Amino acid sequence: MALMYFNNIDFYRNLLSSAYKDDEKEDAALAVQIENETLDTMICARIRPLSEEEKEEHHIPGILSNSSSKAVLYEPRQKFNGKPDSVKHGFSLHRVFDTDMQTESVYQEAAQKLVPWAWTGGVSTLFAYGQTGSGKTFTVTGITNLLIKDIMAIAEAEHRAIYVCCFEIFGKKAYDLLDDRRMFNIMEDSFGKMQLIGVQEKHPASEEEFLSIIQTSASLRTSAQTTKNDQSSRSHAVYRIRIVNKKNSEAQDGELFLVDLAGSEGSQDSSKHSAERLVETKDINTSLSILKDCIRNRTIWGLQQLDSSETAKKSIHIPWRSSKLTQVLKHVFGTQEDRVCKTVVIACVAPSIVDSGHSKNTLRYAEMLKVPVPKMKRPKDALVPSNWTNEKMKLWIRENSGTPAIDADILAGKLSGMQLCKMPQKDFISRCLQTTGVEKDQATAFYQKLWRVRIDSRQQSTTFTAGDKSETMQRPSRPKTARPLNTTPFQQRIKPGMCISMGKRSYGALFVVVMSPFGPEDFDGVGDERRFICAVFGPSMMTDAYELHIERQETFIVKDMEGEAFMEYDSATRYYYLDL
């Protein structure tokens, strides 16, 4: 493509100069801005200006933005007869920031709205992606600095404590940029939230201190020279700003993630790399491709929820566990998240016609993300106990804890529904026992009841909205059809995946799932002596809920098996429930 351009510079100059005249700018920025205020996921593009080096090398811009939300890209091509040609591609996004737009405008129109969302306990995420040298670090750094200014100007007056951690993901490892690049682990806790284990959090007291923290961490980031950028970021940098409401201890902490991704490189860009750099480029491209898969599949999943027919729904796998980067950003793609995440994606593109191929891919992907993603609105779902206020939780305790009623003030105190639901069983029961006349059995049963309500509510009622906020719909609850009665004895139907009850043991009932027949003689036949390798379900902290231990496999003989069991997996708690 570059060769085609450089061999036919005059042809492309003429073509593009007439294109500039044709594509008159529409000034609809204000209308677009107002419309974008309400979006949960906003997809923008930013076209950086031509660099001095590119100008010296006679590059010309191959992308024109003729309106606030549209861009046209010219891609050099060759005709069959060898003559130069071009293909015109049009893109429509929520917002396109042209080369003359300053970072202040990008911040005001796209990123600023993330602040009030996180300020009130929400999760906000901004990430920039695109080819190496397209302006991601420039954009994210600029936005971070403006955002810090805004946050620190009001933090004190609005009783907020601000905490920040900065880390980079390099290959499959994560390094703490505030702790001398110490390696740390990212793990999922029992509530499905990703935890950064042992990462340093700083508590900046002023704007200056905050900016210097960001500068220090940026200087520790891994960078190297690429064909397109002398100071190319070779890692994904993540800044997490946590906003704690000091006045209301029950309020959830707000979180703001700012992500500057490493740039993707094409094969011709990396052709001169050393073996080590090639591995690094491969790691970057792999993690970016997993990120794209996650966003795409989350989008497809969201669209499926709008379709009321259960049959149209296929199981969608969102591979967020496949890379460290997507683990950190799980809140953006998770389908079981408690909180809605506001996300701003900035697709950064280099303007040169030489980079048209790369820019086309970046913009195509951005356009695909623009489809309205329906978001779960669990926080407003009155059925879910973790969304209850302290008053509502206390009322429910008084009415549902049996006789004598458990003292709601002792049990719930000032805790919100979310906090009580997160309380460890031991603490929960010991608080219940402080009510005169309440025995351990009653306390345990009540603890289990709260869990049951939590799980049922998650399964029964989920509200979604699609793009337009007014469009809400109720997910149709799957009718509980009676399981068809199978008259063939279960011993003759045993096959991999079937759950089996092995009867009572000293510690309770034993359930297993069939993995495979033990030997060739066990494949066919109906005999009671056949053996099967099975994985064992272990008990969990709740009655009738089990954890599957795939790694614990034992061989069981058919005559010892009691009957078929029906286990239902609940992704909210990640337990299997005995379906009676």
Ligand X SMILES: Nc1ncnc2c1ncn2[C@@H]1O[C@H](COP(=O)(O)OP(=O)(O)OP(=O)(O)O)[C@@H](O)[C@H]1O
> Which residues contribute to the annotated binding site?
130-137
- Give the nearer residue to ligand X in terms of CB position, either 103 or 387: 103
Phi first, then psi, for residue 330 (nearest 5°) are -55, -35
Shortest spacing between CB 236 and Mg ion, in angstroms: 10
Q: Give the residue with the Cβ less far from Mg ion, 196 or 348.
A: 348
- What is the nearest approach in angstroms of ligand X to the Cβ of residue 315? 35
Q: Binding of Mg ion at residue 270 (CB under 5 A)?
A: no
Which of 140, 502 has the CB closer to Mg ion? Answer: 140
Q: Which is nearer to ligand X, 155 or 262 (CB)?
A: 262
State whether residue 194 is helix, strand or coil: strand
- Give CA separation, 368 vs 296, 297, 373, 391, 545, in Å: 8, 11, 11, 44, 40
Question: Among 233, 245, 362, 416, which residue sits at the site for Mg ion (rule: CB under 5 A)?
Answer: 233
Q: Which does 76 bind (CB under 5 to 8 A by kind): ligand X, Mg ion, none?
A: none
Helices (H), 179-274: 207-219
Integer Cα distance of 8 and 6 in angstroms: 5
342 binds, among ligand X, Mg ion, none (CB under 5 to 8 A by kind): none
Q: How many helices (H) and strands (E) does the chain have?
A: 17, 25
What count of Cα atoms within 13 Å lies in the side-chain half-sphere of residue 261? 32
244: helix, strand or coil: strand
Which chain residues interact with ligand X by CB under 6 A? 48-49, 51, 130, 132-138, 226, 229, 231-233, 262-263, 348
The contact pattern for Mg ion, residues 130-159, with x = CB under 5 A and - = no contact, is ------xx----------------------
Closest CA to 96 of 32, 172, 152: 32
The entry of ligand X, Mg ion, none near residue 138 (CB within 5 to 8 angstroms by kind) is: ligand X
Q: Which does 68 bind (CB under 5 to 8 A by kind): Mg ion, ligand X, none?
A: none
Q: Sketch the per residue contact string, 30 through 69, with Mg ion: x for CB under 5 A, - otherwise.
A: ----------------------------------------
Cβ pair 75, 62 in contact under 8 A: yes
* Closest to ligand X by CB, 40 or 54: 54
525 Rama sector, left if φ>0, alpha if ψ -120 to 50, beta otherwise: left
- Nearest approach, Cβ of 381 to ligand X (angstroms)? 40
Provide the minimum distance between the beta carbon of 364 and ligand X in the complex, in angstroms, as a whole number: 18
135 binding partner (options ligand X, Mg ion, none; Cβ < 5 to 8 Å by kind): ligand X
**Sequence-separated (6 or more) residues with CB below 8 Å from residue 217:** 166, 177, 178, 237, 239
Residue whose Cβ sits closest to ligand X: 263
- Cα distances (Å, whole numbers) of residue 217 to 2, 169, 181, 261: 36, 13, 9, 15
Q: Is the Cβ of residue 265 or residue 522 nearer to ligand X in the bound state?
A: 265
- Smallest distance, Mg ion to C-beta of residue 223, A: 7
Q: How far is the CB of 261 from Mg ion (least distance, A)?
A: 8
Q: Which stretch binds Mg ion (CB under 5 A): 141-149, 231-239, 393-401, 413-421?
A: 231-239
CA–CA dist 202, 547 (Å, integer): 38
Half-sphere exposure of 43 (CA within 13 A, CB side): 19
Q: Which is nearer to ligand X, 51 or 461 (CB)?
A: 51
Within 255-389, where are the H helices?
275-306, 324-328, 330-333, 356-369
